Amino acid sequence: MRLNLRQLSCFHSVMVCGTVTGAAELLHLSQPTISGTIANLEHQLGFDLFIRDKGRLTPTPEANNFYVAALQTLDSMDRTVEVAQEIRDGQAGHLTIATYPGIALHFMPRLLGEFLDGRAGVRVKLLSRSSSVIRGWFPAHRFDLGVSELPVDNTALDVETFSFECVCVMNPQHALAREPFLTPTILDGVPFVALFREHATYHQLAVTFSEAKANWNVTLETEYFETACASAAAGVGIALIDPITALSRPEGEIAVRRFKPTIRYEIGILVPRDQPPSRLTLQFMGLLRDRLAPFTV
């Protein structure tokens, strides 16, 4: 036995209205259509639904029992339609994001707070790992999107690149905080907080100081911009970090200065090439793109 929603809808309307005429008006259908649909439903069910008496339809005991199940089915269908609309409008769904620690601590939580406002039906899983780990996770692990430092050598990914100009940060009481910008010559011999040698900025800085014949006095190496920034704020030395991390610090905690020549730092939004992004993923990517734009060069 196969019933359809039109049959259940007609049955529900007749139960509510008590007449074929009322049900026809409610559903904007003809009376013969309603009568034929009810007759067909009774034939399929194998029992009468109504006692017909002078134009009025009185439900049989079997109809009353069947009505409970029919209402549950119609309510479930209504909820299914609502969920579909919520998914279409980005109001429901699941989003899994893998991002490198530099933006996972401050930038991404603020962005997610903005994104989830008004999206009560959306659930997000945010994972923070090193860029090398994130790049290696695709495509074996299923994530909607990743944010990683570049370069990325993975043919299973589509990558949208964002390039930033790194800045120098220091304790506001540092003697060089009075300078409008910093150069290798100005920083000759000054204690410096650098990222590990594997990081893209390390080689650029090493070459820049070498070409300027200046002493790059690295007193502390660390893995993340966040740690380098905190160390600089504590007076360990001057650090070169990305502008997102610099601007995430509380006002007055650090002094920020441009560094010349420019040291570039690139990150990328990563999405699996073998699966199209969901509407929810595309909406989040649009917001992420907009909020990264002011930092890019």
**CATH number for 197:** 3.40.190.10
Instruction: Note whether residue 19 is domain-resident.
Output: yes
Decide: 171 and 255 in contact? Cβ < 8 Å: yes
pLDDT given at position 139: 65
Same domain as 79, residue 107: no
Reported as type and span, the H/E element at residue 45 is helix 31-45
Instruction: Note whether residue 161 is domain-resident.
Output: no
- Residue ranges making up the domain that contains 217: 167-262
pLDDT given at position 40: 93
Instruction: Note whether residue 114 is domain-resident.
Output: yes
Domain end among 72, 88, 104: 88
Same domain as 280, residue 148: yes
Instruction: Note whether residue 138 is domain-resident.
Output: yes
Same domain as 223, residue 184: yes
How many domains does the chain fold into? 3
Its pTM stands at 0.71
Residue 239: closest CA among 204, 284, 193: 193
pLDDT given at position 89: 66
Same domain as 258, residue 188: yes
Domain end among 41, 56, 88: 88
Angle, in degrees to the nearest 10, between helices 31-45 and 20-27? 110
What would you report as the CA-atom Rg of the chain, rounded to the nearest whole angstrom?
A: 32
Same domain as 130, residue 110: yes
pLDDT given at position 62: 92
Same domain as 119, residue 81: no
Same domain as 76, residue 152: no
pLDDT given at position 79: 74
Helix ranges, 47-186 (H): 61-88, 101-104, 107-116, 131-137
Sign of the CA dihedral 283, 285, 288, 293? negative
Instruction: Note whether residue 162 is domain-resident.
Output: no
Instruction: Note whether residue 59 is domain-resident.
Output: yes
Same domain as 208, residue 69: no
pLDDT in tens, the chain (297 residues): 788 989 999 999 999 898 898 899 999 999 999 999 999 999 999 999 999 887 778 999 999 999 999 988 888 887 777 667 767 766 678 899 999 998 998 999 999 999 999 898 899 999 998 888 888 777 666 788 999 999 888 778 899 999 999 999 999 999 999 999 999 999 999 999 999 999 999 999 999 999 999 999 999 999 999 999 999 999 999 999 999 999 989 889 999 999 999 999 999 999 988 888 888 999 999 999 999 999 998
pLDDT given at position 74: 85
**CATH number for 15:** 1.10.10.10
Same domain as 289, residue 237: no
Domain end among 67, 88, 109: 88
Buried b (16+ CB within 10 A) or exposed e, 124-137: beeebbebeebbeb
Same domain as 126, residue 108: yes
